[in-house]
Amino acid sequence: MNDVVLTGDRPTGPLHLGHYFGSLANRVLLQDLHPMYVLIADYQVITDRDLPGEIRRHTTELLLDYLAVGIDPAKATIFQHSAIPELNQLLLPFLSLVSVSELGRNPTVKDEIAHSTQSAVSGLMFTYPVHQAADILFCKGTLVPVGRDQLPHLEVARLVARRFNERYGQVFPLPEAMMGAQPLLKGLDGGKMSKSRGNAIALSATEDETAALIRKARTDAERLITFEEERRPEVANLLTLAGLCLGRAPVELAEEIGDGGAVTLKRVVTEAVNEFLRPIRKRRAELTEGDARRILAEGNERARERAVRTLEEVRVAMGF
Ligand code: TRP
């Protein structure tokens, strides 16, 4: 079967090493194997906040992050929601395929509502998984590399595709989730890695910023460095991070550091991360904001052509 890959991110802030090892590295490999669409999900930014914020800056930075890590616009189509009216229009027929109670049962939506700081839950919060189905189905995406939290949304996309095909005839393939096998990186404080918690190393961080973040990372008082994920999660996480950057086993690094303590551990991690980020920083420095705008405009044009064709098929199938 000829797979089509679709992935995306909300443009809410810079991508970090967790994103890199969790999904970006995989995309760089996938772009050589399949047609790939990478979505800057700008309309999804306003699901859990009232205003889009610095959306233009975040969009440009996200695009620069993609290019810096090696997503190649000659292979992958990078595009944004707000530039593709035909994708957004798919939301109308798709919403008719899903019941209100099905929307209310989505565990990821429930979780986001529970953690939201908004005074009221908007209609978009309940319906964005259907919009996300349009993200996937507009290009007849079949492979969707995602984290665990996105699995309920993938079920919505499958439901929408299945019901559309049942009611109106075969149009959409059923998309499949693709889960990474990478170890989960935690933040430098041992919590969930997240830009807003200040515990993440952004791909765009400078060498000095990187060193400062790692210097502040939580460790423990034991001098002998060992890789024990249960008993010493913070030390293990730092070893995992260095291991990923160096392509080496964390246990081996621990043995080399031995009784060098947290100071040596942090030096090893800092060097590993900075060495790893060097080519990414270099590529980023070579790109201008003008390059980013042009590349996004080209991607938007390609994605839009695809969306126009799918919407036309949908209209014909439905008899409009
Ligand atoms: N919801 C995803 C996130 O928060 C972003 C996203 C939007 C997405 N549309 C998508 C992911 C389609 C995969 C497929 O990270």
58-92 pLDDT, tens digit per residue, is 999 999 999 999 999 999 999 999 999 999 999 99
Residue 225 and residue 91 share a domain: no
What is the mean predicted confidence (pLDDT) over 158-162? 98
Residue 171 and residue 294 share a domain: yes
Residue 280 and residue 292 share a domain: no
Asked whether residue 109 is domain-assigned, the answer is yes
Say if residue 2's pLDDT is above 80: yes
Residue 304 and residue 253 share a domain: no
pLDDT in the model for residue 256: 97
pLDDT in the model for residue 1: 66
- How do residues 278-310 score in pLDDT, each as one tens digit? 999 999 999 998 999 999 999 999 999 999 999
- How do residues 20-64 score in pLDDT, each as one tens digit? 998 899 999 999 999 999 999 999 999 988 899 999 999 999 999
Residue 300 and residue 279 share a domain: no
Domain span at residue 68?
Answer: 5-182+288-318
Residue 76 and residue 140 share a domain: yes
Residue 165 and residue 138 share a domain: yes
**In angstroms, what is the span from residue 248 Cα to ligand 1's centroid?**
31
Specify the number of domains making up the chain.
Answer: 2
**Residue 299: phi, psi to the nearest 5?**
-65, -45
Q: Which helix (H) or strand (E) holds 75?
A: none
* Residues within a 6 A CB radius of ligand 1: 6-10, 39, 41, 44, 132, 135-136, 144, 146, 150
Q: Which helix (H) or strand (E) holds 118?
A: none
Count Cβ neighbours within 10 Å for each residue of 261-295 and write b for 16 or more, e otherwise. ebeebbebbbebbbebbeebbeebeeeeeeebeeb
Asked whether residue 165 is domain-assigned, the answer is yes
**In angstroms, what is the span from residue 136 Cα to ligand 1's centroid?**
9
Asked whether residue 193 is domain-assigned, the answer is no
Q: From the CA of 146, give the closest atom in ligand 1.
A: 13
**In angstroms, what is the span from residue 72 Cα to ligand 1's centroid?**
20
- 183 pLDDT band, cuts 50/70/90, is low
Give the ranges where the chain is alpha helix by DSSP (H).
Answer: 17-19, 25-30, 55-69, 85-89, 91-95, 100-104, 107-115, 123-137, 151-168, 207-215, 233-246, 250-257, 261-286, 289-318
Residue 247 and residue 106 share a domain: no
**In angstroms, what is the span from residue 132 Cα to ligand 1's centroid?**
7
Residue 142 and residue 41 share a domain: yes
* Smallest CA separation from ligand 1 atom 2, residue: 9
Residue 275 and residue 229 share a domain: yes
Asked whether residue 228 is domain-assigned, the answer is yes
Residue 81 and residue 31 share a domain: yes
Asked whether residue 201 is domain-assigned, the answer is no
Q: What predicted TM-score, i.e. pTM, was given to this entire model? A: 0.94
Asked whether residue 175 is domain-assigned, the answer is yes
pLDDT in the model for residue 194: 84
- 188 pLDDT band, cuts 50/70/90, is very high
38: which strand partners?
7, 78
Asked whether residue 194 is domain-assigned, the answer is no
Using DSSP, state whether 38 is helix, strand or coil: strand
* Smallest CA separation from ligand 1 atom 9, residue: 132
Average pLDDT for the chain: 95
Residue 264 and residue 297 share a domain: no
Asked whether residue 12 is domain-assigned, the answer is yes
